[in-house]
Amino acid sequence: MMMLTQSHQGQVLLVDDDDDVLESWCHLLSLSGYRVTMTQNPQKALAQLSPQWDGVVVSDIYMPAMNGIDFLGQIQKIDSEIPVIMITGHADIPLAVTAVKQGAWDFLEKPLDPEKLLHLLATALPQRLEVLARREKITSAIEQQIIGSSAQINILRQHIASLAQTDKDFMLEGEPGTGRHTFAELLHSLSHRRDSPLTVHDCRLHSSLQEVSERLQTTVGGTLIFHAPEYLHASCQRWLGRELLNYERQGNKALRHIVIFDSNPDQLVEQHQLMPELYYYFSQVRLKLPRLTERKDDITALFRYFLRQCCKKLTIPLPPVENAYLAKLKDYTWPGNVRELKNVAELYAVGIVKLAGDKRVLSSPLNSGPLDSIVDDYEKKVIEDTLYLFAGRLTETAEHLGIPRKKLYLKMKKYNLTKEVFKPHS
At residue 315, the pLDDT reads: 86
At residue 369, the pLDDT reads: 45
Task: For 281-297, give one letter per residue: b (16+ CB within 10 A) or e.
Answer: bbbeeebebbbbeebee
CA distance 293 to 330: 8
- Asked if residue 51 lies in contact with residue 28, where contact means CB atoms within 8 angstroms, the answer is no
Determine the residue type at 161: A
Q: Does the predicted TM-score (pTM) go above 0.75?
A: no
Q: What is the DSSP letter of 207?
A: -
Nearest by Cα to 141 from 196, 197, 188, 193: 188
List of domains in the chain: 2-132 (3.40.50.2300), 168-288 (3.40.50.300), 292-422 (no CATH)
Go through the chain and tell me how many residues it has.
426
pLDDT in tens, the chain (426 residues): 333 333 447 899 999 988 888 999 999 999 999 999 999 999 999 999 999 999 999 999 888 888 888 999 999 999 999 999 999 887 678 888 888 999 999 999 988 899 999 999 999 999 999 999 989 988 888 888 899 999 999 999 999 998 988 889 999 999 988 999 999 999 999 998 999 989 999 998 888 899 999 898 888 889 999 999 999 999 999 999 999 998 888 877 788 999 998 889 999 999 999 999 999 999 989 999 999 999 999 999 999 999 999 899 888 899 999 999 999 999 999 988 998 899 889 888 877 766 644 544 444 443 444 556 666 777 888 888 788 777 788 988 888 787 888 889 999 999 999 988 887 654
Handedness of CA 15, 20, 24, 29 (dihedral sign): positive
In degrees and rounded to multiples of 5, residue 189 shows phi and psi of -65, -25
Nearest by Cα to 357 from 393, 332, 376: 332
| Beta strands, E only, 150-250 | 170-173, 198-202, 223-227
- Mind giving me the DSSP string for 364-398? SPPPSTHHHHHHHHHHHHHHHHHHHHTTT-HHHHH
The two beta strands, 286-288 and 170-173, are: parallel
At residue 360, the pLDDT reads: 42
